Amino acid sequence: LSLSENGFCDCYFDYEKRYNHNQRGGEPDELVFRIFHSKNRLNNNLQRITDMQRKQFADMLTRYFGFDVTVAIKMSERITADNYQDAVSKLVELRNRMSHDISINDRAAYTYAAMDNLFKGISIVRKS
C-alpha cells in the first residue's frame, strides 16, 4: 500500500485465506485476492486529461476567436472535468452564430463575455 500511495506502483492487492471445512490453519482451500488501483494514478490521469482539455480550449480561443495567447490560457484555467463539455458546446454555438451574425465586431470580447458568464453560471439568451 505505501508504494502505491507514494506513486511507485499502479495497484496493490491483499488476500484472504478461505477454509471450507472449519479448519484454522494449514493450507487454505482458496485464496481470494482483492486488487486495488492506486488513487494517485487515477488522480494523475485525470489531471493529465484536464490539462489536455485546457490546452485544446485555449487553442480554440486563439484559432477561432482571435484571443491573445495569454488571455486564452488564463480563460482555459477555468476549465474543469465537469464543465469542459459545456464550454466546448458554447464555443461551437458561438462560432456558428458568428458565421451568420455580422453585427458582432469584436469576436474575442464577445466570446470572452459569453464564456465568463458560462463559468459564472449566468445564461444570457440573445433575442434575434
Partnered with residue 18 across adjacent β-strands are 30
Task: Enumerate the domain spans of the chain.
Answer: 2-37, 42-120
Q: Looking at residue 17, what DSSP letter applies?
A: E
Q: What is the pLDDT of residue 128?
A: 43
Q: What average pLDDT does the chain have?
A: 86
Residue 88 is predicted with a pLDDT of: 96
pLDDT in tens, 52-73: 999 999 999 999 999 999 999 9
Residue-wise pLDDT tens digits, 77-112: 999 888 999 999 999 999 999 999 889 899 999 999
CA angle, 70 then 75 then 81, to 5°: 130
Phi, psi of 123 (to 5 degrees): -115, 125
Output the pTM of the full model. 0.63
